[in-house]
Structure 1
């Protein structure tokens, strides 16, 4: 899975005007979004997007992000893609990090603890 953060350029609509249909078609064809939300600036205005994506390879996530008509038009001042392990609550493969189970002991019967190797 991947986390994708895209920060808009100023006046983003000036470069994306007329591309909404192509952008929506691209999303319909290639999105594997699990969760997403708008990034907001200090004034509460939309400043970008943060998404968790279920793409399984770097090739797939890069295609999704960089072949998007909005990206090609220059809508983003910054794009960050990070690979991550996401623990899905109530999923068939229900694992949870120790900190989650320590803070929420009532959830312990629903999860399998995750054994950490190395890292922080």
Structure 2
């Protein structure tokens, strides 16, 4: 199953996000087989305010297991997380 995850940082969490980011990216490397695409959501000034991911998991429960252990969740960066099923038809890669 494919899922679209939109995760929004809490207020004034940019510094915390940058502190936790290496652990988040390390975790993403380990989950590479599950990732269709991922990136940072930006505010009007081009600063990160959250994350958008499209991921493959066998079930919503498996996705929830990932989310509860995600460093941005454990460290209190992501405040609001929205998840919905998605059917990716076209996935282009950059570069």
2:85 to 83, 86, 92: 83
Q: Which structure's residues are more often strand, by fraction?
A: 2
Q: Which has the higher contact order (CA 8 A, sep 6+)?
A: 2
Cα deviation code 1:87-109 (max 9, x no counterpart) = 1369xxxxxxxxxxxxxxxxxxx
Number of residue pairs aligned between Structure 1 and Structure 2:
89
Structure 2: unaligned runs, 5 residues or longer: none
TM-score by length of 2: 0.74
Aligned CA RMSD, in angstroms, stands at 2.4
Tell me the distance in 2 between the aligned counterparts of 1:27 and 1:89.
Answer: 18
TM-score by length of 1: 0.61
